[in-house]
Structure 1
Amino acid sequence: MKVGILGAGKMGTDIFQYLMNEPDNMESVLICRSPQRAEQESKKLLRKIEKKVRRGILSPEEAGQLQARFQITADNRLLEGCDLVIETVLEDLTVKQTVLKEAEGVVGETCFLVTNTSALPFDLVFQKVKNKKRCAGMHFFYPVSVLKTVELGMLKETEPKTRKALEAFLTDISKFPLCTEGETNLILSRILAAIVAYAWHLYQNTFLRLQEIDRVIKNSVMMFGAFEIMDRTGFLIISQCLRYLTDSRNKEICEALLTQIQILQREGLDGGADSGFFSAAERGILIRPSVDRLVSVTEKEAGEKMKQFIQNEIRYYTEHTSLRKDRLILAMSEAMGIRKEVMEEA
């Protein structure tokens, strides 16, 4: 099987390197944005292969075969002959639409086209692709070598045989496909957007500071704090999740957080250790109602509120859609770090 990967960023290179550990019948080509970037990535790959040869992990012959099966280039014509193309470029709708349209013009009719987007609706991402029957979302989580969950989302045009083939591919590379469609597409991003929006709601309505809310979340709900997640992820992706992946149930709290993020972006902040919510709090540019409108809650009470909020999200999706509760809990536990005991009570 030959897999093409569009984009040599963190996710693209991680998926490429993961596939290198797959059986000998796997081939892959990584498409970079420029010849210079392709040369840089090729040198990195060569160093890794040479290191394995020195350690006796690979023989010189095996190293040569590996280099022949895994190519890095800026020429997307090498996508010809691919059975699957995975798009992993930056979360810019125009860029994604362009590279997928170009890829469709190179690959054969039987090649599947998938996007690794974590925040953009599939129908928009594939808007310029003519044959949408072979398209789907395939959202890997970082690091790919550690996290087995992959969200496999369908467009309304996706054919059953496309879904079946992509499920088989993910299973063959030791991944756990969480299959979704319609309002459950990118379900983990949807739930994450709701969680961070609710954390912001707690900040706007109680006396708790950002650090206290994150401590509550880490102590009682999940591995990382909500504001820590937003600063690590960056405002671009979080804002897209809030804009595209929320529904009427959480519309008010999501819009409130999106408004704050847009203010921070106008102030030149884009997320990160020195450019996110904690930095904004120090600079005094976070929106918060007057003191007389805030209520006092203990950290324990805030933790219970967050637990109940997450449990309500799980109940909604498992009671109103075809998602199985056990599969959703497994994915949320692994990819989001949410404690199973919190979810099993839902």
Structure 2
Amino acid sequence: MTIGIVGSGRMGQDLFYSLIGCDCNVILVSRKMEQIQKITKKTQKILNRIPRFTGKETPMITDRLSDLAVCDVIIETVTEDLKVKQELFKKLEEIAKETCIFATNSSSLDVTDVFDGVKAKERCVGLHFFYPSKVISTAEVNAGPDTGEETVKKMVTFLAMTGRKPLVLRGQSRLVLSKLLISLAAFTYKLSLDGELTLKDLDRITGKVLVFGIFEMVDSTGFLIISQCLANLPDKRHVSLYQPLLAQITDLMKQGKDGRGGGGLLSLEDPVQRGLDFLENREAWEKAYRIKLIAFLLNEILRYMEDPLLDKNQFKESVEEVLGLSASLNVLYEELPKAAILKTMMEEYEKTRDPLFLPADFCMYRYT
């Protein structure tokens, strides 16, 4: 099997290096000659350093899309711009062989839109990898309405061959793991607007539930990608939740800040003035907000688990890995007072009258 990767950014390179050691041929296409030279040198060092790669030829690293004509699968990892992706796949359809599968690694754009101009839609699918791919083994297989079952099966087999755990998603559940991460970031930012805890406080609390602080994730990912997710991912139920964080990030981007290079959310001056009451009751405050965060997360997950097309157990395992949860979802649920979960959701609903916060059937965690 020959795999083509288009794009030499952070994800393109990460995916390329991870596939070098797999039982497949890899071709990387980059439009930047300096990137090609840099990646070629690093690849040769990897091949020379690792004994099992001794004698293996350096994979093709090129600036020509035409070199992808031999590929069985082509994965694009270019900028998160719909028009750029659509134009790319139109070109690839003229180059690739008739059996080639087209895959987009988009984290926020729906496959239906990305492949709108492609004729062979049955061979088009979303393959969403998470960074760094050598740490997070889960990969979303986002099947569009026209994606053929044979294409899905081949991608599941391909991912398993590379040591990854495929999560097949269809319909409204496509890109669900991205949605969960962005929704949690948006909700946590919303909590900061209450004026009781700062961004740093809330980041520290989420860092005890997840493997990372949620605003640490936003800053390290970069404002450009996060803003694209906030703009592209929400359904009608989540639009109002996403707006405050999107507005804040958009404002920071206008100031020339990008998160990754500095000037992230965690660098903002905290407007909260600490009173004696807070200092004396810090532990109680943090415990209350931890319940709010976990209750929201568990509720969001349950909404997706209502989808009959979703493999619930596989989905839960993927959520636990991608979010790096400190405990399984079932354990998190059992650890919290049940009355507190319902109370915190109903308080949020009564305050906002937003149906997003209506409690789902939490008992489902007992039976899955």
Scaled to the shorter chain, the TM-score interval is 0.7 to 0.9
Is 2:295 the counterpart of 1:311? no
1:190-269 correspondence to structure 2 within 5 Å:
190-219=179-208, 221-269=209-257
Deviation of 1:95 after TM superposition, in Å, equals 2.2
* Amino acid aligned to 2:211: M
Deviates more, 1:331-340 or 1:198-207: 331-340
Q: What is residue 177 of structure 1 aligned with on the other side?
A: 166
1:184/1:321 contact within 8 Å kept: no
> 1:293 aligns to what?
none
Which of these residues, 320, 331, 337, is aligned with residue 324 of structure 2?
337
1:142 to partner: Cα distance: 2.0
Q: SS in structure 2 opposite 1:136?
A: strand
User: How many angstroms apart in 1 are the aligned matches of 2:141 and 2:269?
Assistant: 37
Q: Is the 8 A contact 1:329 1:343 kept in 2?
A: no
Counterpart Cα distance in 2 of 1:33 and 1:48: 23
TM value normalised by structure 1: 0.87
Determine the C-alpha separation between the residues in 1 that align with 2:106 and 2:311. 23
Per-residue deviation at 1:166?
Answer: 1.1
Q: Deviations over 1:19-73 (max 9, x none)?
A: 22123xx211111113343233222222322334xxx5444xx23xx32xx2111
Which residue of the other structure, out of 21, 29, 39, is the alignment partner of 2:27?
Answer: 29
| In 2: Cα distance, 1:233 partner to 1:58 partner | 31
Q: Which secondary structure state, in structure 2, belongs to the residue aligned with residue 28 of structure 1? A: strand
Counterpart CA distance in 1 for 2:170 and 2:130 is: 19
- TM-score by length of structure 2 reads 0.82
The SS at the match of 2:89 is helix
| Unmatched tracts of structure 1, length 5 or more | 289-295
Q: Distance in 2 between matches of 1:20 and 1:57?
A: 11
Counterparts of 2:2 and 2:328, CA distance in 1:
41
Quote the residue 1:123 is aligned against. Answer: 112
CA distance in 1, matches of 2:53, 2:141: 33
Q: Provide the alpha-carbon RMSD of the alignment.
A: 2.1
1: distance between equivalents of 2:28 and 2:207? 37
- Structure 2 match to 1:50: 48
Hey, what's the Cα distance between the residues in 1 that align with 2:61 and 2:185? Answer: 37
- Change beyond 3 A, Cα 1:226–1:113: same
The answer (yes or no) to whether the contact 1:83–1:111 under 8 Å persists in 2 is yes
Q: Tell me the distance in 1 between the aligned counterparts of 2:92 and 2:196.
A: 52
- Give the Å deviation of 1:343: 5.0
Say if 1:193 and 1:246, in contact at 8 Å, map to a contact too.
Answer: no
Secondary structure of the structure 1 residue equivalent to 2:95? coil
How many angstroms does 1:273 deviate by?
5.7
Number of aligned residue pairs: 324
Q: Which residue of 1 aligns with 2:133?
A: 144
SS in 2 for 1:192: helix
Change (3 A) 1:38 1:274: closer
CA distance in 1, matches of 2:91, 2:330: 42
CA distance in 1, matches of 2:32, 2:215: 35
Instruction: Report if the CA contact (8 A) 2:320-2:329 is conserved.
Output: no
Range with bigger deviation, 93-102 or 177-186: 93-102
CA contact under 8 A between 2:170 and 2:309: conserved in structure 1?
no
Q: How much identity, in percent, do the aligned residues show?
A: 35
CA distance in 1, matches of 2:326, 2:308: 22
**One-letter amino acid matched to 1:236:** L
Report the equivalent of 1:292.
Answer: none
Q: Which amino acid aligns with 1:239?
A: S
In the alignment, the residues of structure 1 paired with residue 82 and residue 114 of structure 2 have an alpha-carbon distance, to the nearest angstrom, of 6
| Separation in 2, partners of 1:320, 1:20 | 36
